[in-house]
Structure formats: C-alpha cells, structure tokens
Amino acid sequence: MHGIVYDIKRGEKMKKYLLIIVVVLLMATGCQLATLSIIEVENAPDISAKSIDPTAKLQLINDGTKHKYIIYQANSEIDASVEAENNVVKINLDKRNETEGDPQQHIYYLTTEDKHDTIQVFADGIEIPFNNVTSK
C-alpha cells in the first residue's frame, strides 16, 4: 500500500513538472508567432471610427506594434494577398466583380515581422500611395 501511495505522489509531481515545461515552451514559442499575414475584417475594434478617414482611398493605421490596419475604398470585391522581399512588405489588392455606386470600405488586419519596415501597396498591379497614415 505504501508503494502505491508513493507512486501516486511521484506521478502527481511529474505532472506538475510536465505542466511547467509545457507552459514555458508555449510562452517561448508564443513570442515568435508573429508572421506576415493579411486578413479582411468586418471592423477594426482596436481603432476608433474617428481614426478612419472616409474620403481616403487608402490609409494605414498603425497600432504601435507589428499589427496594422489597411483601409481601402473600392467599387468592387477585393482579393488581398501579401508577400515580403527583404524588409519590404508588398500588399496586392486585386479587384473583382466591379460595381457601380459608392465605394465600399475594405478593412485589412496586417501582421508584420520585426524585419519589415516598408509597406508597398499595389492595386491591380499598379503601386498606389497611402492617402493617410496614422498611429493610434
């Protein structure tokens, strides 16, 4: 009986050590998870509506970290993609299903890596400048 109690206590101790190791590994790898990506979002909860200029065709709102919002006005649906070349992030915004009427606001959440310090945006293969760049 005494040996069984000892094994149970030893097993509980091993579980604690294993849990600590897993938590440390998750924390260590969590710091490295920021990779280059772009996704379209319905809204930007991290920024206020007054930060978005409804007249700007293309704007960048930086949250002070590796995360940024790209707001693009277009009369069509957009296929967005991102790629990197050295320190430059290249965002491709390709129109499809163009429509008449007022432009729609497309909001993209962009995550970059530490090495990226320049952003270029291309609309249907043509480089376009940001009309507005702000930080929150």
Average pLDDT across each block of 10 residues of the chain; the chain has 136 residues. List them in order.
56 63 55 77 79 90 84 94 96 90 92 92 97 88
Containing domain of residue 82, as a range? 37-135
pLDDT value at residue 32: 47
Question: Is the dihedral angle over the CA atoms 126, 131, 133, 136 positive or is it negative?
Answer: negative
pLDDT value at residue 17: 61
Q: Are residues 103 and 122 in the same domain?
A: yes
Distance CA 42, CA 15 (A): 42
Q: Are residues 54 and 107 in the same domain?
A: yes
Counting every residue written for the chain, the total comes to 136
Q: Are residues 17 and 58 in the same domain?
A: no
pLDDT value at residue 133: 93
Distance CA 86, CA 114 (A): 11
pLDDT value at residue 49: 76
pTM of the predicted model as reported, rounded to 2 decimal places:
0.71
